[in-house]
Homo-oligomer: A and B are copies of this chain.
Amino acid sequence: MVLVKTMYRNPKEYIDKEVTISGWVRTIRSSKNVGFIEINDGSFFKNIQVVFDSSLENFAEIGKLAISSSIKVEGLLVETPNSKQPFEIQAKAVTIEGMSNSDYPLQKKRHTLEYLRTIAHLRPRSNTFSAVFRVRSVAAHAIHKFFQDRGFVYVHTPIITSSDCEGAGEMFRVTTLDMKNPPVTEEGKIDYSNDFFGKEASLTVSGQLEGEIFALAFRNIYTFGPTFRAENSNTARHASEFWMIEPEIAFAELVDNMDLAEDMIKYVINDVLENAPEEIAFFNSFIDKGLLDRLNNIVNSDFERVTYTKAIEILQSSGHKFDYPVEWGMDLQTEHERYITEKVFNKPVFVTDYPAEIKAFYMRLNEDGKTVAAMDLLVPGVGEIIGGSQREERHDVLVEKIENMGLSKEDYWWYLELRKYGETKHSGFGLGFERLIMYLTGMANIRDVLPFPRTPGSAEF
């Protein structure tokens, strides 16, 4: 058995030789004496053409195969210099392994992405999703290679948690309590001491705080795992379950953090361009005509770095009329972010040093006492793709920030202890993996880069 990918990568080894392949019928047509099948064997984005003729005893049966039937083909691989494809197989035998049915929902015609979501068990067999999910796999591996090659320790931070990293709520409860008759305390509250973990538990929104624990032992670490938001927002950019990459580096300031993020983004893009060229070419032709230019632009440019204060000045003096008026202290809206990265700089931009009031408690307070050492990476076409910061390592400053934000010091006892036993400057960021995949493929809806998306009202498959 030869894989189609192997034949495409090393055709000389197989040309004019007998080969055996197995795969699924993507298209089929036949006339009286000859037929053509495009087969995809799952190993490669491209199909291979099989020519079969009436010398096969099951010629008639083969000609009637429904799309997606699985077959085994033995035959001769020959070059086809005058065709679109470089070679084809002249079949000597075709064996049917699994018949498909004529009601196969993925017929060779244009389906809407919305329809394809309803058949998530079959859409990976379409060109578009075959490309999306292969790029997803290549990019995931690129992330691991990038960090591991640099000596970063991969840490599995917990999914079920009893703490709330952002202090932001919007978490899913995890419970084994009887929903109909939950135990209650004397005060009439739900008695979570009887729940599975002996306390209230939720799905994590971030592994950052636990990541800091590991950075303060292993210096350079990263997480790569699922995170959750119980946010009832039905947009093309939000999912309830998504994967996040969160590196954390010790003895490192904000500038090191930006360098790391820039290196990582460029590494992953280069790796995908190298290892999934057929898929990227497909996206560039059929999904997003500017994709390849945009990706090349990114790997070849030095990312811009500008403070929030400077960005506000640029926006205010731009003469552009924004829906949200621009003033210092506000959070940047998508329209502002895109204006900065697309109109002003036309390349990725780190915006740094945001007002402390609009950022999380763990970000390091700057000397000015009103901004924090935060950074967001904005990219053309998408907006924010990375958010990070230098972490507040000073015990007393951190306690003050926790109290000012109305959080409970006790809930963060171990996070605070990290600042008692050999604190160091340290920094980190979070990259939403799906946002990255959208960026790499040009796919516009997060539902189409997740194998089985979970969104409000939807947890199918």
User: Quick one: which of B69, B104, B148 contacts A141, CB cutoff 8 A?
Assistant: B148
The answer to whether B159 touches A159, judged by C-beta atoms less than 8 angstroms apart, is yes
Q: Which residues of B contact A217 (CB under 8 A)?
A: 42, 124-125, 129-130, 133
B210 touches A452 (CB 8 A): yes
A124-142 near B? 1/0 per residue, CB < 8 Å: 1100011001101100110
Contacts A141-B148, A175-B175 given: A157-B452 contact, CB under 8 Å?
Answer: yes
Oligomeric state, in number of copies? 2
Contacts known (A97-B425, A148-B141); A42 close to B155, Cβ less than 8 A: no
Q: How many Å lie between the Cα of A199 and that of B457 in the bound state? A: 8
With A173-B174, A250-B42, A251-B22 in contact, do A454 and B122 touch (Cβ < 8 Å)? no
Least CB distance, A275 to chain B, in whole angstroms: 9
B173 lies within 8 A of A153 (CB): no
Contact of A213 among B121, B177, B197, B414 (CB under 8 A): B121
With a cutoff of 8 Å between Cβ atoms, the chain B residues found around residue A415 in the complex are: 121
* Interface-side segment among A51-59, A219-227, A306-314, A375-383: A219-227
Question: Which residues of the partner chain B approach A180 to less than 8 Å between Cβ atoms?
Answer: 182, 184, 189-190
When chains A and B are docked, how far (Å) is the Cα of A180 from the Cα of B188?
9
Give Cα A124–Cα B155 distance, bound, in whole angstroms.
11
Chain A binding site: helix, strand, loop or mixed by DSSP?
A: loop
Residue in B3, B199, B460 whose CB lies within 8 Å of A459: B199
Contact A70/B451 with A137-B155, A196-B240 known, Cβ cut-off 8 Å: no
- Chain B hits for A42, CB < 8 A: 215-220, 250
A120 to B209, CA, bound (A): 13
Q: Mark A160-198, 1 if CB is under 8 A from B, else 0.
A: 111100000000111111011010100001100000111
B451 touching A155 by the CB < 8 A rule? yes
Q: Does A290 contact B (CB under 8 A)?
A: no
Cross-chain contact B97 with A214 (CB below 8 angstroms): no
Contact, CB under 8 Å: B70 / A424: yes
Q: How large is the interface on A (under 10, 10 to 19, 20 to 34, 35 or more residues)?
A: 35 or more
In the complex, whether A86 has a CB less than 8 A from a CB of chain B is: no
How far, in whole Å, are A393 and B101 apart by their CA atoms in the complex?
A: 15
Does any Cβ of B come within 8 Å of A1's Cβ?
yes
CA distance A393 to B415 in the complex (A): 51
Contact call B133/A98, Cβ cutoff below 8 A: no
Which of B70, B130, B151 is in CB contact (< 8 Å) with A423?
Answer: B70
- The proximity string for A residues 292-317 relative to B, scoring 1 for CB distances below 8 Å and 0 otherwise, is 00000000000000000000000000
**Is A121 within 8 A of B175, CB to CB?**
no
* Complex alpha-carbon distance, A423 and B450, angstroms: 24
Q: How far is the CA of A268 from the CA of B229 in the complex (A)?
A: 34
How would residues 420 to 449 of chain A score, 1 for a CB under 8 Å from any chain B CB and 0 otherwise?
Answer: 111111000000000000000000000000
A226 to B156, CA, bound (A): 9
Minimal beta-carbon separation of A62 from chain B (angstroms): 14
Min CB distance, A54 to chain B, in Å?
24
> What residues of chain B lie closer than 8 Å to A241, measured between beta carbons?
158-160
Q: Is there an interface contact between B162 and A173, defined as CB atoms closer than 8 Å?
A: no
**Which residues of the other chain, B, contact A216 by a CB distance below 8 angstroms?**
24, 42, 125
Q: Closest approach, in angstroms, between the C-beta of A189 and any C-beta of chain B?
A: 8
Contact of A68 with B by CB under 8 A: yes
A157 to B423, CA, bound (A): 38
Residues of B within 8 A of A267 (CB): none
A188 nearest in chain B by CB position: B180
Q: A125-B216, A158-B461 are in contact. List 16 more A-B contacts (CB 8 A).
A: A3-B151, A23-B219, A98-B419, A101-B420, A120-B213, A133-B217, A137-B148, A140-B154, A156-B243, A160-B203, A174-B174, A179-B190, A196-B457, A197-B454, A198-B458, A210-B452
5 contacts between A and B (CB under 8 A): A70-B251, A130-B218, A172-B176, A196-B457, A225-B225
